[in-house]
Amino acid sequence: MSDFSLWFAVHMLAYAALVIRVLTVEGKEPASRAAWILILSFLPGLGIIAYLLLGEPWISRRSRRKAIGTVTRLVKAYNVGKTSALENVPDRFRPAFRACEHLAHSGVTDHNTATLTADSNAAINAMVEDFDAAKESIHISFYIWLTDNNGLKIAEAVKRAAERGVTCRIIVDGIGSRALTRSEHWAAMKAAGVQLCVSLKVSFGLDALLGSRADLRNHRKIVVVDNRLTYCGSQNCADPEFRVKAKYAPWVDIMLRFEGPVVMQSQLLFAANWLIESNEHLDVQWQASSTEAVANGSAAIAFGTGPLSPKGAMSDVFSSLLHCAQHEVVISNPYFVPDASLLSALIGCARRGVQTTLILPQRNDSFVVGAISKAYYAQLVAAGVKIFEFRGGLLHAKTLVVDKAVTLVGSANMDRRSLELNFENNILLHSPDVAKSIRERQNTWLSDANEVVPDQVIHRSLLRRIGDNVATIFSPVM
């Protein structure tokens, strides 16, 4: 047998094996199966490599064993959210909160307050102030932490806290914060007594084949101080100028400061991640009683999602909120590549008469994601969804407000990475006051946005229509 014949036989065996794998692997959407079969058929060589790298959210057995059940065990150990305050949520919103309870392994908490920070710089300044007042512990998890003005403000505040005896723990993503972990500032925090952890380190060589999929990322943004307050939102630890991608600046984010029992649910997410990555159990730091209920506060639940969550978990939360809506839904999100259930929920929401508004950035730092987002415009506007493209930088805030009463904020985008691959954290809150403040913020974005004209996207050219339809075919693999 010639070398070419041998190579061809091996190639065909690999191709056949992957096609069988695509058709038999559990939980994959039909659209995703079809897209991968097309890729493997038309780009056989590259397709095989692409599927091995990107086809499934595979995680090393060691990491999977450590992760499964970790949050559940911590919930039981620390009695967090053992009882549910779901009765304090209006009936029609309860299905969405129940979906979050399933993911949190914990009940809805009551008596929480949330304060919306004025902007990205104000959020950083508020964190610094809270760090300087911290007495016991500071826990931080960021996807991207830059060594710019805001990034160094936080680093210096953490160092000051550690030097006066506050227990400080930091988790950063291995890719998103790679520059920080290689800098003098990382070493300086360690020297000051800060405990540091790099999440999802990038492996090379044989370790890359035996470890987790390289592009699974820890996209969470969690800040917890003294088991007393937590921050949740879209903001990374960086300036709004975001100098690593400055041409899209300013990056427009949102961050809320929460007090009340929901703080401990955010702490659970941090503790579970810390335990998995560092093998340290944070039992000494945990006293749920230290988180005081706030008088006249609101029902809220903090939850995490990721590749180990039930299939479609984050999409289920988005969709359940859309199904709850009766009057109005306003959404901002930077990366919009919906799966079938989320797209159907958005279209159904508008068709039953709910005023459905979607705010996306006019210019996206991901050209591919931006192009695929636009490919869905025709279906959405035909159903009655109003789409606005924000002009004033990259709108990075992930917000969803239903009927001016319920708000979802956090790190999760409406793209395949957040829906299936990344580790995310969000808080769902029932509070008309908070919803009002976020709706006002959304209105400022709408005032600096262009509305997509339905006629222009519905009656687009044949060539554009072909391009859009091809893009949506391959969206399940993005």
Q: Which residues are catalytic?
A: 219, 221, 226, 396, 398, 403
Q: Which two tokens stand for residue 189?
A: 């925090």
Q: Where are the alpha helices (DSSP H) in 25-148?
A: 30-42, 44-54, 61-67, 70-78, 94-104, 120-133
Residues 6 or more apart in contact with residue 55 via CB below 8 angstroms? 18, 21, 22, 36, 477
The secondary structure of residue 334, as a DSSP letter, is S
How far is 438 from 444, CA to CA, in rounded Å? 10
Is residue 297 within 8 A of residue 324, CB to CB? The reply is no
CA distance 126 to 243: 22
Residue with tokens 């299905």: 95
453 Cβ neighbours under 8 A, 6+ residues apart: none
Tell me the residue ranges of DSSP E strands in 362-431. 386-390, 394-395, 399-402, 406-410, 424-430
Give the type of residue at 110. Answer: D
Query: Which value, to the nearest 10 degrees, does the dihedral of the CA atoms of residues 394, 400, 402, 407 take?
Result: -120
Going 346 to 347 to 352 to 357, the CA torsion angle's sign is positive
What are 355's two structure tokens?
A: 């005023």
Cα-based distances in Å from 313 to 239, 342, 416, 422:
31, 11, 12, 12
DSSP assignment string, 226-275: TTTEEEEES--BS-TT-GGGGGGPPEE--EEEEESTHHHHHHHHHHHHHH
As a whole number of angstroms, the distance between CA 351 and CA 345 comes to 10
